[in-house]
Amino acid sequence: MNRFQDKTVIITGGAGGIGEAICRRFANEGAHVWIVDSNAELARGLAEDINQQGGHAAWREVNLASAADIFSFISELKSQTERIDVLINNAGINRRGALLELSEQDWQTTFSVNLDALFHMCRAVLPHMIAQGGGAIVNTASQWGLHPAPGHIAYNTSKAAVAAFTLNLARDYAPDKVRVNAVCPGEVRTPMLESNLARSGRSLDDLNALVPFGRIGEPAEIAAAIAFLASDEAPYLCGSLLEITGAQAVV
């Protein structure tokens, strides 16, 4: 499929885990991918690999907690391309703990990356999408933002805010033909998840046993859903929160 042939796609948090799978999916479908990440080494390596395989990718190290950095990046991008077709707000962090186990800095950092970055990116990109007659925005929320798991109050609350932000943005800008949706994944097998398992003493089999489908999700499966939401195959999907969980209930 070449649903995104020559389209410009921005992917935040694009250098690792789910983000890498998203970048590769869009590049494989013909997009000009901009990898935005705080890890310059990983972003550069991914862009080089995509380009060596015949795709089109560029990368930028952007401080997503800084409105100035975000607007500077979008200004630079607009000097190089006529359109911004798709924005994927995927960057996120997880500071674990119940309320009394969290520091104030944990709380503030979580919301800075998980929510404020969406606010600034969308404020920077929306005017261009409106001027060009439309576009697609897909945010990465979480199953835990809709059905909170214990011991993750900062992450859960920030992702609930991402879901609410998505619904509000969709309602306000649907008349401008800017479609805004979100995916809400459950557990996904990423390097971060596997390292957390190693620390906790739990195994991948333990997590798989909790999922009615028989296993947790794969990054490529989340990327496929995001690509569908951003594509012309979903022209009437706007304001949707798509849970991707294998029918798993949060326990």
Find the CATH number of the domain harbouring 22: 3.40.50.720
Radius of gyration, alpha carbons of the chain: 17
Q: What confidence tier does 251 reach under pLDDT thresholds 50, 70, 90?
A: low
Q: 250 in a domain, yes or no?
A: no
For the cut 70, the answer to whether the pLDDT of residue 188 exceeds it is yes
Give the residue among 16, 9, 14 at the shortest CA–CA distance from 32: 9
Show the domain range for 21. 8-244
**Cα(171)–Cα(217) distance, integer angstroms:** 30
Q: Residue 145: what residue type?
A: G
Q: What is the pLDDT of residue 108?
A: 96
Q: Domain total for the chain?
A: 1
Global confidence as pTM: 0.95
155: left (phi over 0), alpha (psi -120 to 50) or beta: alpha
Q: 251 in a domain, yes or no?
A: no
Catalytic machinery residues: 155
**pLDDT, average across residues 193-218:** 86
The DSSP H or E segment spanning 143 is: helix 143-146
Residues 161-180: tens digit of each pLDDT: 999 999 999 999 999 999 99
Q: What is the pLDDT of residue 10?
A: 98
Tokens of 122: 């969308």
Q: 84 in a domain, yes or no?
A: yes
